[in-house]
Structure 1
Amino acid sequence: MGKDKLRRFAEIATFQNVKQLDEGKVLKGNWNISQFNNKNPVILELACGKGEYTVNLAKLFPNKNFIGIDYKGNRIWRGAKTAIEENIPNVAFLRIQIENLLDYFDENEVSEIWITFPDPQPQDSREKKRLTFPKFLQRYKTLLVEGGIVHLKTDNDQLHAYTLEKIEELGLNLKVRTEDLYNSEFADEVLSIKTYYEKKYLARDKNINYLKFSFD
């Protein structure tokens, strides 16, 4: 591991807005009060990378709490650092493996889930790693409040199609679907937030897919 990564890992250990591994388990069922000192809704961004979506959503919605989740500490360092520097109190980051979500959040604790440009895991052998694989979807259903929403933004047409297939198979409630977000009617202020990777995809004229669905 390079010196810069080591420095970032050491630094996030001192950040009040970052919880790592077992450190986050004690907040299960009580994130809004224990971490944010309020009773506002909790919203997750999974595979958040550098946390651009998490931070920008928090700016737009100061009366909601946002938690970016990723395993790579050197990435979430950027979002956590920005939130500290810009004094954004409704942002936190959690460094864990996403498959362990149920160890960190209680039933009905989460209002929305954002999945922004995850690794599409295109090989058939890695289907179970896709963040919209049915076992992941079942975890999301457990965590979400009644009517809670899942958002997926991806440049990967195959992951988009795969997720649509699972939505239909499981009888989920598809609310919005587009294969070309920025040439659709849905590109509002929220959906126009752009991550580091999304900017790279758009520079290559890649279409951006978006899905919005719920479990009821």
Structure 2
Amino acid sequence: MRQKLQRFQENAQRKNTLEPGKDIYEEIKGNWNSVQFKNDNEIVLELGCGRGEYTVGLAPLHKDKNFIGVDIKGDRIWVGAGQAIEQNLDNVAFLRTQIQFLDKFFEPEEVSEIWITFPDPRPKDRDEKLRLTHHRYLDLYKKVLKPGGIINFKTDNTPLFEYTLEVLNSRKDADLLDYTFNLYEESKLLDIQKGIKTNFERKFHSKGEDIKFMRFSLN
């Protein structure tokens, strides 16, 4: 508990961490480029980012883009935010909120790309609406994404991956660009990852789980 409190105090002082209690938190919608990043570069989100492995990992490789990790867990965000500061990554920020409130922080078409990496699979039928690839979330992503904006989805969980394929196949606005049930046998998709692995990916892949990955857009 003491460690968490210390992390929360540090988050409160960090300019790359937006959370309740900060003035910018209430005013950032539609103003990410002008207020936070002070440029006109494209915005990429990592949803349910945890420690922000993709946010921090992709940012130095794409200086022409701005990366925002979104998660409700402040002690996890603290890790990625600290790494971004250590690496002088001015194109990185973290937003502390629940994903269902995404449209309260981003204007329509303010986002160019989304990463969803190893979300909670929510296997029980009663929790279907909590899956980050459920229709209600896809509708939310569609609101904030620019036309043709890409969503990257990565998981070890086969039922969740198959569920997501079914959801996309049922939508007239979905364009499934590519997918694989075994990422490490598909080099053309593997290149997109830039070798970045989350802690969950390392854990499950080491146990023999195949990593699934897809890219799609909502037109």
Query: How does the TM-score come out when normalised to structure 1?
Result: 0.97
* Structure 1 partner of 2:199: 196
Deviation at 1:10, TM superposition (A): 1.1
Is there any run of 5+ residues in structure 1 with no aligned partner, and where? none
Residues in 2 aligned to 1:148 and 1:133: alpha-carbon distance in whole angstroms: 18
Runs of 4+ in 1 over 3 A off after TM superposition: none
Q: Which residue, 175, 178, 183 being the options, matches 1:176?
A: 178
Q: Which residue of 2 aligns with 1:212?
A: 215
Quick one: distance in 1 between partners of 2:191 and 2:175?
21
Q: Which moved more, 1:37-46 or 1:179-188?
A: 179-188
> Structure 1: how far apart are the matches of 2:175 and 2:185?
23
User: Which runs of no fewer than 5 residues in structure 2 stay unpaired?
Assistant: none
Residues 1:176 and 1:189: Cα distance change in structure 2 (over 3 Å): closer
TM-score, normalised with respect to structure 2:
0.95
Question: Structure 2 CA distance, aligned partners of 1:206 and 1:5?
Answer: 32
Paired residues for 1:30-49 under 5 Å: 30-49=31-50
The 3 A distance-change label for structure 1 pair 22 and 126 is: farther
1:70 correspondence with 2:71? yes
Partner of 1:9: 8
Q: Are 2:111 and 1:117 equivalent residues in the alignment? A: no
Structure 1 residue 197, shift from structure 2 partner: 1.3
RMSD: 1.1
Secondary structure of the 2:148 match is strand
Number of the residue aligned with 2:89: 88
Q: 3-state DSSP class of the match of 2:122?
A: coil
**How far is the alpha carbon of 1:6 from its aligned partner?**
1.2
CA contact (8 A) 1:106 1:143 kept: yes
Task: For 2:26 and 2:199, locate their aligned partners in 1 and report how far apart those are by CA, in whole Å.
Answer: 29
Give aligned-pair identity as a percent: 48
**Residue identity opposite 1:197 in structure 2:** F
For 1:26, give the aligned amino acid: E
Residues matched between the structures, number? 215
User: Which residue does 1:138 correspond to in 2?
Assistant: 139
Verify the 8 A CA contact 1:21 1:94 in the aligned structure 2. no
Query: How big is the shift at 1:107?
Result: 0.2
Give the counterpart letter for 1:215 in structure 2: L
CA distance in 2 between counterparts of 1:42 and 1:96 reads 17
**1:188 is paired with a residue of what secondary structure?**
helix
What is the CA-CA distance between 1:25 and the residue it aligns to?
3.2
